[in-house]
Chains A and B, each alone.
Chain A
């Protein structure tokens, strides 16, 4: 494969690069002329093995490449380790995973006095059987904990009230509800 190499006149003459035909003549002419023009030299080999024997082309000579270009991981001595976490597989037969879903059909298979929401112990008590958006959730929280929060967490209670007021205005004056599709 022919390679075109741009090089300065002076350095090229010192490096043993073969120049053919017109390139050689141009180089000779350039050496004698007054004005300097950059020389474009194409490097060609007769056989592929000759090119391989020369080795890789020397590029960016003298540049200090500060990038990590060796090995799989960056050098730890001077630099921090990359944040790749250690792989820790989940124990699929841990108790909570092995018995996941137990008692979910207790209203069918049990005596009938229990509902799966009553047995959902992982869910906070005030959220069992509840589904709603943030506004509805905050209203429920205020209904159940508002008085206690006013005594023990007054700042949090105040923030919650502000959020409720803001959400009321946002949901009622700035967003559409599902009825709009029918209107």
Chain B
């Protein structure tokens, strides 16, 4: 229980140093409200008198593609309607070219760059024994041998076998990874697998509630919920704890492989804005060519 929960409650449980570093630079904007049933019911009735229209014009955008429009939904089924508002998505992030080749390269990179092959075979000098000449060179009529551990012998060493720690590390160019993210987000959006949600607040902490919700809305078999912060609301954490195919992730944990593994991707409004801000920052930075030329070395 602790192991699975800590993922959502805070990766801090496992990796304190990493998260402390990240949280220091992230600004925690909203204080989590009390998620009692009454409070949520009251909030949902009062605060949504008018729909949440976030129609940003994106004046800085130099893209000829128009901003993408998406519904803002809510995870509260007691609300009047599923849709709570409208949001405009930046075209460079969510309306990019869905490059399948880049997506494939990114997924392959993710699978390979952390792989270490521990297979190991002993060479003839490492196999126990085999220092003495088994029989004299001439006179016996037998084949000539110098050691019982030569590769010709049964139980002998392997000549060109796998050797110890073989790593397959490499880094994709920065722009390829950046465009891999935009391609996947655009593809997900184009295929109606991207859902925007105002927040991950839920009235109930039961797994059945979340399952029923996803079932009713045809939200795929597997769902990935992404929020700006890595400390998620209590109810959705408990609900998704036992459901292995519904996972929670912070924005910095988002990646191409996870987006493809989960059928539906659910982003909060805060997560959308954070993703846009981060990706556009990297697209616009003046030292991007320098970043691409970087050869990573330890």
Contacts and interface: CB of A to CB of B under 8 A. Distances in A.
Q: Which of A95, A100, A103, A118 has the most CB of B within 10 A?
A: A103
A106 B252 contact: yes
Given A111-B26, A116-B113, A117-B296, A106 B253 contact: yes
Interface string B156-187: 00000001111111100010011001000000
A43 interface: no
Interface in A92-134: 93-95, 98-106, 108-124, 127-132, 134
Given A98-B247, A131-B168, A104 B257 contact: yes
A77 interface: no
Nearest to A129: B298
B258 A103 contact: no
Given A111-B22, A130-B167, A99 B181 contact: no
Interface residues of B, number: 51
Contacts of B296: 115, 117, 129
A27 interface: no
B22 A110 contact: yes
A114 B253 contact: no
A45 interface: no
B72 interface: no
B170 A119 contact: no
Interface string B9-25: 00000010010011001
Contact of B110 (A101, A117, A124): A101
A127 B170 contact: no
B126 interface: yes
Contact of A99 (B163, B247, B297): B247
Given A110-B252, A111-B25, A99 B298 contact: no
Contact of A102 (B123, B249, B279): B249
A108 to B, nearest CB: 6
Given A113-B21, A127-B165, A121 B15 contact: yes
Contact of B170 (A98, A131, A137): A131
A61 B244 CA distance: 63
Contacts of B222: 93
A93 B4 CA distance: 12
A162 interface: yes
Interface in B245-268: 245, 247, 249, 251-258, 261
A109 B167 contact: no
Contact of B18 (A109, A114, A130, A166): A114
B275 interface: yes
A162 B247 contact: no
A159 interface: yes
A120 B251 CA distance: 18
9 contacts: A98-B244, A99-B7, A104-B255, A111-B22, A111-B25, A123-B116, A123-B169, A131-B167, A134-B164
Interface of B: 3-4, 7, 15, 18, 21-22, 25-26, 110-111, 113-114, 116, 123, 125-126, 163-170, 174, 177-178, 181, 222, 244-245, 247, 249, 251-258, 261, 274-275, 278-279, 282, 296-298
Given A99-B7, A129-B169, 4 more contacts: A93-B222, A101-B255, A102-B253, A117-B296
